[in-house]
Amino acid sequence: MVVVGVLSLQGDFLEHLQLLSEIDGVKALPVRSAKDLARIDALVIPGGESTTIGFLMRLRGLDSAIIDLAREGRPIMGTCAGAVLLAKRVADRVVGDTGQPLLELMDIAVKRNAFGRQRESFEVELSLEGIGSMKAIFIRAPAIVEAWGDAKIVAYVDYPGIGRVGAVAIQKNALAVTFHPEISRDTKLYEYLVSLVKK
Amino acid sequence: MKLVDSYEFIEKLRDLIYQLLEIRDRSRIGGDSFLRIKMGTPLVKLGFISMLKGGVIMDVTNEKQAEIAEDAGAVGVMVLDKLPYDVRASGGVARTAGLDVIQRVMETVTIPVSAKCRIGHAEEARLLEEVGVDLIDESEVLTPVDERAHINKWEFMVPFVNGARNLPEALRRIFEGASMIRTKGEPGTGNVAEAVKHMKLVNRDIATLRGYYMSGDVEALWVYAKENKAPYELVILTARLGRLPVVNFAAGGIATPADAALMMWLGADGVFVGSGIFKSSDPEARARAIVLATAYYDDPETVAEAQKMVSERSAMIGIDVRKLKPEELMQVRGE
């Protein structure tokens, strides 16, 4: 049995927990404080507002605990806001530098609200190298504009007026996903995350 | 059944309504299929609302207040011309906020920006969509232009939130295309009493419907739909789901961290704070404290910590709802 934690401070953590518990051999656990991290094999950081999740994470001392967990090699996946929090460099399309609290675990640069506002949010069929294709829901989504070092972009999205930008990046045991598999209810990415857990 | 499963049902409901109206092909919803990219779909709208869960949306009147809200960890701001408390005090006709103010707020913060339009005023809503507001609140705080028919919200790319005092009202709004509900409470009072009343009314009706469903009493569901003017399909969906089929925030009179935590205990997915923050004399600390208390509502230690961040002497004075004349109540607008 693999225990996957979902950071449950703000956002759609419930959708992640429900989807994870439908996968065979997986137990899903909400993570609310640093002590919950000791019991999990992998972590999902859900969608929500990255500024809110970052604010609460720092206030509760969860940020340093999550960085320690990732350094130990336990797999971690961030979706949308979670992908923003994993990035080393973050800027907003309109506001520019955000100065928000981050985990800085992946060698990627992310542009927040890259496609525009909610009006410009969209769904599209996307194919992920080595993982498969799925319906991807992009909501006020960030884009991965650069990956360096060990980080590799494995899926791109073509958006009119913006061009080809990164949608998913993988760096060893960390995954940054800019869309919402928990809303389209596709388990492929979660199964991939579970496969990274050391047996 | 889970909340996201109800999103799929709402998607089918939208398709059904559009088939009947035969305007699907001309509708702006659906985007350009040539590009394979679909915009404004129910999943895109309802998914966005799902991301707000566990958060606080704060009423602001300028970009400075919006920045305070963002720094305090708000999941969104609602731009108004006047805070509900001042709308109540000034009287007259309350309209949507100035588009220049909304635009300045959008250029200042990275979090979603919402704005209110008058009930039934589709043109105000179109203007808000045009400037790029992320969420439109068809709100009873502003003066309604059509109390008998709300806006047809299926036609918009941008999601809508509507107020409701009880379950049938909420289901009627969802049937008109609202992607989110907020229990109305009595806005601009700093008094959470009406918000509690409305949330409990919704909860009791859901429990009743769930009971009918579990005992297989389909007739009772028909009778409920008929007697309460509630759309039958959504009555069954709610009965099966055991909760509102879309995200539901509490609103109207929330002024302290404890108020917010109370509403979360009653089943709210998050809270709107109107006058409570910027009508207090400690807005920065109060905004942070309410965000903390909302996220950790089920941990009394953290809520106590949040409550200590603010002083009761700094809270907005508030209004006893029983002292309001019937014509002064905002909650009765647009059923």
Encode pLDDT of B276-306 as tens digits: 999 999 999 999 999 999 999 999 999 999 9
Integer Rg of chain A from CA: 15
Predicted confidence (pLDDT) per residue in B78-118, tens digit: 999 999 889 888 888 999 999 999 999 999 999 999 999 99
Q: Average the pLDDT over B65-82 and give the result.
A: 96
Tell me whether residues B73 and A56 touch, CB distance under 8 A: yes
What's the number of domains chain A is made of?
Answer: 1
| Dist CA B10 CA A57 (whole Å) | 34
Tell me whether residues B44 and A124 touch, CB distance under 8 A: no
Ranking A183-187, B29-33, B183-187 by mean pLDDT, the lowest is: B29-33
- Kindly indicate the confidence band of residue B35, based on its pLDDT and cuts at 50, 70 and 90: low
Alpha-carbon distances of B222 from B57, B147, B225, B230, B233, rounded to whole Å: 36, 26, 5, 10, 10
Q: Average the pLDDT over B258-277 and give the result.
A: 96
Give the pLDDT confidence score for residue A171 in this predicted structure.
96
Q: Does A36 touch chain B (CB under 8 A)?
A: no
- Roughly what angle, to the nearest 10 degrees, separates helices B218-227 and B232-241? 130
Q: Which two tokens stand for residue A178?
A: 């800019």
Predicted confidence (pLDDT) per residue in B221-231, tens digit: 999 999 999 99
List the catalytic residues of A: 80, 180, 182
Ranking A18-22, B87-91, B260-264, B265-269 by mean pLDDT, the lowest is: B87-91
Give the pLDDT confidence score for residue B33 in this predicted structure.
47
Give the pLDDT confidence score for residue B318 in this predicted structure.
84
Contact residues for B142 (Cβ-Cβ < 8 A; gap 6+) = B87, B94, B95, B96, B116, B117, B118, B119
| Dist CA A65 CA A37 (whole Å) | 8
A35: Cα separation from own chain's centroid:
21
Alpha-carbon distances of A158 from A110, A182, B45, B151, B182, rounded to whole Å: 16, 22, 21, 34, 36
Nearest to B159 among A80, A81, A118 (CB): A118
Mean pLDDT, chain B, integer: 92
With contact defined as beta carbons under 8 Å apart, do B154 and B41 qualify? no
Instruction: State the catalytic residue, choosing from B12, B38, B82, B116.
Output: B116
Nearest to A9 among B37, B111, B295 (CB): B295
Q: Give the distance from residue B129's alpha carbon to the nearest chain A alpha carbon, in angstroms.
A: 8
B97: Cα separation from own chain's centroid:
17
Tell me whether residues B48 and A119 touch, CB distance under 8 A: no
Ranking A14-28, B24-38, B234-248, B290-304 by mean pLDDT, the lowest is: B24-38
Q: Which residues of A touch B45 (CB under 8 A)?
A: 118
Give the pLDDT confidence score for residue B326 in this predicted structure.
86
With a cut of 80, say whether residue B21 has pLDDT above it: no
Q: Give the distance from residue B223's alpha carbon to the nearest chain A alpha carbon, in angstroms.
A: 33
* % pLDDT > 70, chain B: 96
With a cut of 80, say whether residue B20 has pLDDT above it: no
Nearest to B55 among A10, A120, A159 (CB): A10
Q: Does B273 touch chain A (CB under 8 A)?
A: no
Q: Give the distance from residue A95's alpha carbon to the nearest chain B alpha carbon, in angstroms.
A: 6
Predicted confidence (pLDDT) per residue in B121-173, tens digit: 999 999 999 999 999 999 999 999 998 999 999 989 999 999 999 999 999 99
Predicted confidence (pLDDT) per residue in B229-258, tens digit: 999 999 999 999 999 999 999 999 999 999
Q: Average the pLDDT over A148-175 and give the result.
A: 94
- Kindly indicate the confidence band of residue B22, based on its pLDDT and cuts at 50, 70 and 90: low
Predicted confidence (pLDDT) per residue in A100-156, tens digit: 999 999 999 999 999 999 999 999 999 999 999 999 999 999 999 999 999 999 999
Pairs of CB atoms within 8 A across A/B = 137
Q: Which residues of A touch B300 (CB under 8 A)?
A: none
- Kindly indicate the confidence band of residue A186, based on its pLDDT and cuts at 50, 70 and 90: very high
| Dist CA A127 CA B41 (whole Å) | 20
With contact defined as beta carbons under 8 Å apart, do A43 and A31 qualify? yes
How many CB atoms are located within 10 Å of the residue B87 CB?
22
Give the pLDDT confidence score for residue B31 in this predicted structure.
46
With a cut of 70, say whether residue B3 has pLDDT above it: yes
| Dist CA B45 CA B47 (whole Å) | 5
Closest among B77, B53, B61, B23 to B179, alpha carbons compared:
B53
Q: Which two tokens stand for residue A58?
A: 């720092």
- For A158, list phi and psi in degrees, rounded to 5: -100, 115
Give me the domain span that covers residue A176. Answer: 2-195
Mean pLDDT, chain A, integer: 95
Q: Average the pLDDT over A22-34 and give the result.
A: 95
With a cut of 70, say whether residue B23 has pLDDT above it: no
Q: Give the distance from residue B193's alpha carbon to the nearest chain A alpha carbon, in angstroms.
A: 26
| Dist CA B102 CA B7 (whole Å) | 30
Tell me whether residues B296 and A117 touch, CB distance under 8 A: no
Residue by residue, DSSP assigns A133-196 as EEEEEESS--EEEEE-TT-EEEEEEEETTTEEEEEEEEETTEEEESS-HHHHT--HHHHHHHHT
Q: Give the distance from residue B111's alpha carbon to the nearest chain A alpha carbon, in angstroms.
A: 7
Give the pLDDT confidence score for residue A199 in this predicted structure.
62
CATH of the domain at A101: 3.40.50.880
Q: Which two tokens stand for residue B202?
A: 């919704």
Q: Does B130 touch chain A (CB under 8 A)?
A: no
Closest among B157, B188, B187, B184 to B173, alpha carbons compared:
B184
Give the pLDDT confidence score for residue B258 in this predicted structure.
96
With a cut of 50, say whether residue A182 has pLDDT above it: yes
| SS3 (DSSP) at B164 | strand
Q: Which two tokens stand for residue A183?
A: 């809303």
Q: Which two tokens stand for residue B185?
A: 């409470």
Tell me whether residues B132 and A117 touch, CB distance under 8 A: yes
Mutation to test the A interface, candidates B29, B35, B50, B247, most A Cβ within 10 Å: B50
19-48 in chain B: CB under 8 A from chain A = 31, 35-41, 43-48
With a cut of 50, say whether residue B27 has pLDDT above it: no
With a cut of 90, say whether residue B177 has pLDDT above it: yes
With contact defined as beta carbons under 8 Å apart, do B69 and B58 qualify? yes
Tell me whether residues A94 and B107 touch, CB distance under 8 A: yes
Q: Give the distance from residue B47's alpha carbon to the nearest chain A alpha carbon, in angstroms.
A: 6
How many CB atoms are located within 10 Å of the residue B222 CB?
14
| Dist CA A75 CA B215 (whole Å) | 45
Q: Does A187 touch chain B (CB under 8 A)?
A: no
Tell me whether residues A48 and B55 touch, CB distance under 8 A: yes
**B116 an active-site residue?**
yes
Alpha-carbon distances of A93 from B69, B70, B72, rounded to whole Å: 20, 16, 21
Between strands A122-128 and A87-92, the pairing is unpaired
Nearest to A10 among B7, B43, B54 (CB): B54
Tell me whether residues A11 and B129 touch, CB distance under 8 A: no
Q: Give the distance from residue B289's alpha carbon to the nearest chain A alpha carbon, in angstroms.
A: 11
Name the residue in chain A with its Cα closest to that of B270. Answer: A10
| Dist CA B37 CA B31 (whole Å) | 7
Name the residue in chain A with its Cα closest to that of B1. Answer: A18
Q: Does A111 touch chain B (CB under 8 A)?
A: no
With a cut of 80, say whether residue A176 has pLDDT above it: yes
Q: Does A56 touch chain B (CB under 8 A)?
A: yes
Q: Does A13 touch chain B (CB under 8 A)?
A: yes
| Dist CA B191 CA B255 (whole Å) | 7
Name the residue in chain A with its Cα closest to that of B129. Answer: A119
AA identity, residue B22: E
